[in-house]
Chain A
Amino acid sequence: MLLFGSAVSILPFYWMFISGLKSTPEIMSPVIKWFPADPQWGNFIRAWNWLKPSFSRAFLNSTIVTVGTVGLILITGSLTGYALAKFKFRGRDVLFKFVLATMMFPFFIGLIPSYMLISWLGLNNTLLGVILPAGASAYTIFFLRQYILTVPDELIEAARISGASEFKIYWRIIVPLIKPALISIGLLNSVWIWNDLIWPMVVLQSRDLATVQVALAGLWDIRGQLSDINLVLASAFIAAVPTIIIAIIAIGYLIKGFTGLGYVKR
C-alpha cells in the first residue's frame, strides 16, 4: 500500500526527469520508453540557459523575493503575535478578531488593490513591489501568537525588573524561545512564496525580473512545439529540485507548520 502510494507520488517526477533526458526524436516517437536509449545529460545544461531569463537569474530573483518576503513576514508576525499574546491594550480583542477574519479572506481580493498600490508607489515591475504587499501574513501572526502564549509571563517580568529594555526582551527572550516556531512557519511561508505564480506574474512584466515560476510558466506557449518538450520538462525538473531537497531535509518542520494548531491553510 505504502509502496504503491509512494510509487504513484514519485512517478511524475521520474517521468519529468527521464523525459528531460530524451533526445528530440526519442521523445517525439509514440513508443513509450522507461529509460532513454541515449541519455542526453546536455539537455539539462541547455535548459539552464534556454529559460528566459536563465535559471541563474531566475533563481536569484526567486531567492530575493522569498528571503525578503519571509523576512518581513517573520518580523511583522512575531511583533504582532507578541503584542497580541503578552500585552493588554485598547482594541486588542478587535485586532485579534481582525487577524482571525483576514486568515479566512481569500487571497484574490487583494490582487487588484495591491497592484494599484505598488503602481502608485512606483514599484510596478520591481522585486520590491512583489515583496512589500506580501510582508504580513495572518496565519503567521496567529501561529506565532499561540506559540508566544506558552512563554511564561514571569520570564518577561523578571527581565523587565532587572532593567532590560522592551526591545531587548523581544530580541533576547521572545525570539530565541520561539525559534522552532519561527523555523516551521518560516519554511512553510518560503515554500508558498517560492511556488507562487499569480502575484509575481502580475507585478513583474520584464523577462529579466521573472521568478522561477514566472519564467517556467512562460514556456507554456511553446509546449505545443513537440520538438522542445524535452527541454520544457528538463526545465520543470530543475525548477522542482529546490523544493524536493527542502522536503527531504526539513519535512518535520514543514509538517509542524502545516498541522500547527488545528488550522490548515492551502
Chain B
Amino acid sequence: MRFNKTPYYFLAPAVVYFVVFWIFRIVFVVGASFTNYNPLKGFSKADFVGLSNYAAALKDSAFIISLKNAFIYVFYEPICIVIALFLALVLVSPLAKGKPFFRTLIFIPVITSVVAISFVWQWMYSYKHGLINWLLAGVGLAKQPFLTSIHQALYCIMLMSIWQFIGLNMVIFTAGLQSIPKDYYDAAYVFGASPWKKFIRVTAPLLKPVFLFVTVTAMVGSLQVFTEVFMLTRGGPGNSTIVPVLWMYRNAFHFFRFGYGSALAVIFFVIIMALTLVVFKVFRRGGTEYY
C-alpha cells in the first residue's frame, strides 16, 4: 500500500488512547505496590517501602485462602460444559423442535446481571423460606444451611455460576457442532455407526481442541470472580468464600491501602499471566493456532 501520512492524524488518537491507558495502568500499579500510598493522606505522605507489601501478602492468610477458593471456584466451568454439551447435541439434532425458543430461554441467564440473579439465588438458598430447601424436604432430605455454612457456601456460588453459564457454553458448542462438515457423518452413516460411535469417533475428536481451549481460557478468566461472591456472601461466613479480587478491592477501597492492594493485584496478575502462557504453550505444541 502507498505510503501516506494523512491517515495517521485521525488514526493516531485512538491508538494512543489505548496504548497510553494500558501503559499507565501497569506502570502505576507496579510503582504503587512498592509504597504505602494511602489516597486519604496523599502522595507527599507516601513512602517507598521496598518489597514489604509483597512479603506481607505472602504471609496474609486471607490472601492465601482467597487464592485457594478461586482455584476451586473455576471448576464450575468443566461441570457447566458437560451439561451444555448434552444440551447442544440435542439442539443440533434435526429431531428437536422449537429450537430458537429454547435457545433463547437458556441464554437469558448469561446476559442478566449477576447483581439481580444473586438476590433471587440468595433467597432460594434461604434456610427457612428457600425454594431449594423446600425441594430437599419434599424428597425427604435434610435441610441445608447453604450460604451460611463455611463448608457449603463456595459450592453454592459455583452452582449459581454453572446455572448462569450453561447457555453461553451451549451456544459455543452449537456453533462448533455446526461447523463439522456433514461428509464425516455421511461416511459414518455408510459404515453403519451408532449415534454413540458417531459422537466418540467423529464429534468428540474434531471438537476437542477448540473446546479444551475455550474451557481453559474461561477457567483462567473465572479466577477473577468478584460480583458473584460480593453479592452472595461478601466473602463470608468468616473468610470461607473470600476471593483475590474481593480481597484486593477491600484493601484498596475500604481500608485505603492502595500500596498493599496494588501488590496483591500484581501478584495475582503474575499468577494469571503465567497460567495463560502455559496454556498457550501447551496448545501450540498440540498444533492448535488461534491467531
Contacts and interface: CB of A to CB of B under 8 A. Distances in A.
> A and B from one assembly?
yes
Interface of A: 1-3, 5-6, 8-10, 12-13, 15-16, 19, 27-28, 30, 32, 75-77, 79-80, 82-83, 86-89, 95, 98-100, 102, 104-117, 119, 133, 135-136, 138, 141, 153, 157, 160, 165-167, 170, 191, 194-195, 197-198, 202, 212-213, 216-217, 219-220, 223, 226, 229, 232-233, 236-237, 239-240, 243-244, 246-248, 251, 254-255, 258-259, 262-266
Given A83-B14, A240-B116, A248-B108, 6 more contacts: A112-B265, A113-B24, A198-B230, A233-B119, A239-B113, A262-B210
29 contacts: A1-B86, A9-B166, A12-B121, A12-B163, A15-B131, A76-B17, A79-B14, A80-B18, A83-B7, A83-B11, A104-B273, A105-B22, A105-B273, A106-B272, A107-B224, A112-B265, A113-B25, A116-B32, A202-B253, A216-B113, A220-B231, A229-B123, A232-B119, A236-B117, A236-B119, A243-B112, A251-B100, A259-B171, A262-B210
Contact of B224 (A76, A106, A212): A106
Given A86-B1, A198-B249, A258 B168 contact: yes
B220 to A, nearest CB: 8
Contacts of B180: none
Contacts of B100: 251
Contacts of A246: 111
A interface, over-half SS = helix
Interface in B103-126: 103-117, 119-124
Contacts of A259: 171-172, 175
Contacts, number: 267
Contact of B231 (A75, A108, A202, A217): A217
